[in-house]
Structure 1
């Protein structure tokens, strides 16, 4: 699997797929249209690029191509949180996972998993957590 970090727009498409999967390109587009305000062809092209990168997989269901997220939600979000806190905010200590308590994207058990990932990444010498859950 590609270890590249998804772009902000790719992350929006991944979040749609984490909420419900599988989805066709049209269904993904309907989920993100208000947030991205772009054409269906842009959604389709982005999904195709994500497929090439290994961020999503595709299969056919009743003649329609449907997509599934291949990047794990908790690990991907942990990588974003660590990058932002270290690179942007220059935080060198523990990260407050309590800030995710009201997240509509993460369940209580996923928040616990995120806390473990962030804690273990902090203990490793500047190492970034891997993209595998």
Structure 2
């Protein structure tokens, strides 16, 4: 499970979301997927991927002579950690969260929404 000290940065999350949607992707394909959102150079995508490899957020493999990437950071636990961090650090909330804030998201399906709700309601260290 992702924890607050292992939460990807906003730009890393953008790359992860592209990989969760469609993986594996080469660095070039990944750059094309996020280019409009990040508006940065291909070299910035490559550098971010290198940092993500070091952090264990992505894996690099070879396919047809090209390096391709896939997410190692699991989607539901990563989103749960982001939501928990936001609620505590930004909003200063102590109450347990629900996944209701994700309803209508294009990023999670119903099964993942249920998993997310379960994780948020039973966050390790939360008082019951």
TM-score w.r.t. the length of structure 1 is 0.88
Aligned-residue offset at 1:44: 0.7
Distance 1:19 1:67, change over 3 A: same
User: Which residue, 44, 47, 51 being the options, matches 2:46?
Assistant: 44
Distance 1:96 1:119, change over 3 A: closer
- Aligned residue pair count: 125
In 1: Cα distance, 2:101 partner to 2:7 partner: 22
DSSP 3-state at the match of 1:60 = strand
Unpaired runs of at least 5, structure 1 = 127-133
* Pairwise CA RMSD: 1.8
Tell me if structure 1 keeps the 8 A contact 2:12–2:52: yes
Aligned-residue offset at 1:99: 1.9
Tell me if structure 1 keeps the 8 A contact 2:23–2:69: yes
Unpaired runs of at least 5, structure 2 = none
DSSP 3-state at the match of 1:32 = helix
User: What is the aligned partner in structure 1 of residue 15 from structure 2?
Assistant: 13
Distance 1:21 1:8, change over 3 A: same
1:34 matched to 2:28? The reply is no
Tell me if structure 1 keeps the 8 A contact 2:98–2:120: no
Tell me if structure 2 keeps the 8 A contact 1:2–1:55: no
Tell me if structure 1 keeps the 8 A contact 2:2–2:77: no
Q: How does 1:18-97 map to 2 (within 5 A)?
A: 18-97=20-99
Structure 1 stretches of 4+ moved >3 Å? 123-126
DSSP 3-state at the match of 1:27 = helix
TM-score w.r.t. the length of structure 2 is 0.92
DSSP 3-state at the match of 1:104 = coil
In 2: Cα distance, 1:34 partner to 1:105 partner: 18
